[in-house]
Chain A
Amino acid sequence: MKEEDLISDYKVQKYILYAEKNDGSYGTVEGGSYIIENDLDDFWHKKNHLEKSLRERLLKNEITPIYYFMVLEEMTVSELASRAGIAKCRVKQHLKPGKFAKARVGDLQKYAGAFNVPVANFFQMVLTSNDQNSKYHFYHQEEAAKDRYSIAQTATANAVIILTKVEEKA
């Protein structure tokens, strides 16, 4: 790759790339990410679509919250089992709605740690006025900025209790 062929006005994400410089030597130049510059909207579109379709299934009780977050955060069963510290066979059980109802709170806390969400969000969906789940990792920040209300969740000393505050933006 030659330095002059490199588009250098990437705004969203800058990276260091290696290229043939104008003087013929090889070294680092500042470039950016093609895919993030051009396809980020498509990425969000796909993520939102996936979230919506999973949410629909979740509301119909076809899947469990564990499955919902596992797919959204792109984990496999074995990866989740290892991250949460729960046996694989038990994770598989927790992906079935009937069995999930019998899950222990302790297990749920472990899942919550692995997904980095509050335990409470396994039992509720905090939706914004434009019908987005505001409290999952891939909620689009630009969409959030458009929202009339800000929703903040703060942890407390009690691991199973989370404070959810909804405030109108100034």
Chain B
Amino acid sequence: MSGTQLPFEHKMSAHCETGTLSSQLAFHGMELSEALIFGIGSGIFFGYFNNKRFAFPTFIVRSKPGQIRKNLTKRLGIKFETETFKTPQQAQEKLDALLAKGIPPATQVDFFFMDYLPQYLRVHINVHFINVVGKTEGGDYLISDCYYPKIVELAKESLQKGRFAGGSMAPEGFLFYPTFIPKEFDFEKAVRKGIKKACFNMLKIPIPFLGIKGMRKFANHITEWPKLAIDAEDLSHQVSKINILLEDQGTGGAGFRFMYATFLKQAAEILKQPELVDFSKRMMDNGDKWREISLMAARMGRNRDLSVEKLREVGALIHERANVEERFFKELAKVVK
């Protein structure tokens, strides 16, 4: 069998889900920036999880994986073909059939099996999205991963294991590709809806650990962390993870706050509301403060500076962010009405 590679333009981006969506749409002839996709899809979020499903309390700074794609369908009318599979065989056959037809689908995988990434990045997280853009002569796949500088080969066994990893949010071979892109869009309505939903998610979602409430819960609970850790090194690892979750997991810096600021600046032009530029600046400053928290966490982890007082200090900074973001989203909701 000879190798094939579809003319897929590879580009690096900050976040895997929005990046894959952006390059999928670009392949089908529609240019939509990552930040705009993130904003219209209401990607910005916060949640603090402290339950048995996680080995240690953790937090998220983005909406549920897949939600951004669903929101794009709802708000812009872009239709996606999505499919999950019962067996790895079926999944592979479908993937091969699509590639033969000239369609490079995006698929959901477990980070752990992406052999081309360095070891320290490869952890068991089921929510990574990659584009499959071709096949080599040996039957392996060519992957366009937006965290990797170029198109890269991945053994077919690894791809299959990654697509059928199981566990929470199991991918089940999930793949998607756009099937219908409307000729005209009502961007204004979509952007307005995206911002409104983001405000709702941050302020009013009636669950005590999501949105601003989640942020406060995190700030209060962080002083309990020493009791939950196995030893000092484990605690240091967990505190360093605050930095990783905010900066490293494809957030574009400061837990998506910088990306959202970029979106708001674009939104100001689309909605013709210059006051949003001011909001964008405020979001940027807010992001800077988040970045200070993440740098502080990294240093604390490094220096094993993990006293309860120090953790309380971090908690106080997070409380401050919660207050700032609460005010920010309340005012934002009024502006985009």
Contact = CB atoms under 8 A, between A and B. Distances in A.
Interface of A: 1, 13-20, 25-28, 31, 33-36, 38-40, 42-44, 46, 49-50, 73-76, 78-79, 82-85, 113-114, 116, 137-138, 140-141
B113 interface: yes
Given A14-B149, A34-B295, A76-B55, A20 B284 contact: yes
B12 A18 contact: no
Nearest to B295: A34
Given A13-B118, A76-B55, A79-B168, A39 B280 contact: no
Interface stretch (B196-204, B215-223, B248-256): B248-256
Contacts of A26: 258, 261-262, 265, 280, 284
Nearest to B298: A35
Nearest to B261: A26
A18 B124 contact: no
Nearest to A5: B288
Nearest to A76: B55
Interface of B: 12-14, 34-35, 52-55, 112-113, 118-124, 147, 149, 161, 165-168, 170, 233-234, 236-237, 240, 243-244, 247-248, 250, 252-254, 258-259, 261-262, 265, 280, 284, 287-288, 291, 295, 298, 301-302
Contact of B167 (A20, A27, A82): A82
A73 B170 contact: no
26 contacts: A1-B253, A1-B291, A16-B13, A18-B258, A18-B261, A20-B284, A26-B280, A28-B34, A28-B252, A34-B295, A35-B240, A36-B248, A38-B298, A42-B302, A43-B237, A46-B237, A73-B124, A76-B53, A76-B54, A78-B52, A82-B170, A113-B161, A114-B166, A137-B112, A137-B119, A137-B122
B262 A18 contact: yes
Contacts of B165: 83
Lowest 9 A-B CB distances belong to which pairs?
Answer: A18-B258, A26-B262, A83-B166, A18-B252, A83-B167, A17-B253, A16-B14, A18-B259, A76-B55
- Between B120, B236, B291, the greatest number of chain A beta carbons within 10 A of the residue's beta carbon is seen for B120
Given A15-B248, A138-B119, 20 more contacts: A1-B254, A1-B291, A14-B149, A15-B250, A17-B14, A20-B284, A26-B280, A27-B262, A28-B13, A28-B252, A31-B253, A39-B240, A39-B298, A42-B301, A43-B237, A76-B52, A79-B124, A82-B167, A83-B124, A83-B165
Contacts of B236: 46
B14 A15 contact: yes
A6 B234 CA distance: 30
Nearest to A73: B124
B255 to A, nearest CB: 11
Contact of A35 (B149, B243, B284): B243
Given A14-B149, A26-B265, A79-B53, A116 B240 contact: no
Contacts of A35: 240, 243-244, 247-248, 298
Given A16-B14, A113-B161, A75 B280 contact: no
Contacts of B122: 137
B51 to A, nearest CB: 10
Contacts of A1: 253-254, 258, 284, 287-288, 291
A102 B199 CA distance: 54
Given A26-B261, A73-B124, A116-B113, A34 B247 contact: yes
Contacts of B253: 1, 17-19, 31
A33 to B, nearest CB: 5
Given A26-B265, A34-B295, A74-B123, A39 B254 contact: no
B298 A34 contact: yes
Nearest to B167: A83
B297 to A, nearest CB: 9
B166 to A, nearest CB: 4
Contacts of A46: 233, 236-237
